[in-house]
Amino acid sequence: MTETALQPSVLASVRSDALALEAEAISAWFGERKVLDRVSLTMPARQVTALIGPSGCGKSTFLRILNRMHELIPSASLAGEVRLAGEDIYDASVRVTEARRKIGMVFQKPNPFPAMSIYDNVVAGLKLTGTRASRREKDGLVEESLTRAGLWKEVRDRLRQPGGALSGGQQQRLCIARSLAVRPKVLLMDEPCSALDPTSTRRIEETITELAETVTIVIVTHNMQQANRVSHQCAFFLAEQGTPGMIVETGDTDQMFNAPADPRTEAYVNGRFG
């Protein structure tokens, strides 16, 4: 393999990666059951947007719609548009693999390939996206991705050990590194700290803050303190009395926590329901 085999998009500067993501009038169904109703949200580049709200209000469904994972469920359907830099990712001309390369996902439970080495976990996404790279390029990408995920110093001397041997917090950062290796424009995180101890949670939050300089981040969290610490803006989702989920209010994080416009938002962020 030659050193020129790595695609230009992967070699591009990490500082140019982030792009704004826009959802317009998103409605979603599972079979006949409507779970989201005309949700619109702009997620600015190089910012952290937190999706907050009680369980069952459609936050995780909305997150999965943002990188076309919703369509993996046979009974699922949706209406509306998701635009990355103005292009609808659901357009027939956009390949699913390309949409998911640009819009990565980190799940609630760390899911590294347990028998695969730390090194091979990081570069696994290259094969999935059909990106060829020389060994030297892979070496550089592994170091860079693990560094950006805040894990390099802890694992640089054991890159050939299984990813499954890491602690829970380290596994989650390994999953972040794996997502970063394919140069996403946006990184989606579905409650990434819910299974972690306070120390690991703090490390992940530090990683999120650092990544926001180069990647647009959208995070689902039930932890209001976490939303307040890491996000630039919040969107409050609510599904009342069996109605589909909707956004009650969106705004800068400080405003949402200190001077929300809707009394339901004020009640939720202060722990009076949900």
Which residue reads 């936050």 in tokens? 59
Q: In DSSP terms, which residues pair with 233 in a beta bridge?
A: 49, 252
pLDDT value of position 17:
63
DSSP-based three-state secondary structure for 59: helix
- The backbone torsions φ and ψ at residue 67, rounded to the nearest 5 degrees and listed phi first, read -135, 30
CATH number of the domain to which 49 belongs: 3.40.50.300
| Side-by-side strand order, sheet with 186-190 | 103-106, 186-190, 216-220, 48-52, 233-238, 246-252
Closest among 254, 255, 180, 247 to 217, alpha carbons compared: 180
pLDDT value of position 130:
75
d(CA 235, CA 251): 7
Q: Is residue 34 part of a domain?
A: yes
Q: Is residue 85 part of a domain?
A: yes
Q: Is residue 220 part of a domain?
A: yes
pLDDT value of position 175:
95
d(CA 198, CA 268): 23
d(CA 176, CA 143): 13
Closest among 97, 56, 52, 87 to 239, alpha carbons compared: 56
Q: Is residue 162 part of a domain?
A: yes
Q: Is residue 274 part of a domain?
A: no
- The backbone torsions φ and ψ at residue 87, rounded to the nearest 5 degrees and listed phi first, read -100, 130
Q: Which two tokens stand for residue 193?
A: 């700290």
Q: In DSSP terms, which residues pair with 219 in a beta bridge?
A: 50, 189
- Residue 117 is given by DSSP the state B
Q: Which residues, at least 6 apart from 169, have a Cβ–Cβ distance to it below 8 Å?
A: 196, 197, 199, 200, 201, 203, 204
Give the structural domain span for 113: 3-269
Mean pLDDT, consecutive 10-residue stretches, the chain (274 aa), reads: 38 60 97 96 97 95 95 93 95 91 92 94 85 90 95 96 95 95 94 92 94 96 96 97 94 97 95 77
Sequence-ordered strand ranges (E) for the chain: 21-30, 33-43, 48-52, 76-84, 87-88, 103-106, 186-190, 216-220, 233-238, 246-252
pLDDT value of position 271:
87
Query: Into how many domains does the chain fold?
Result: 1
pLDDT value of position 5:
40
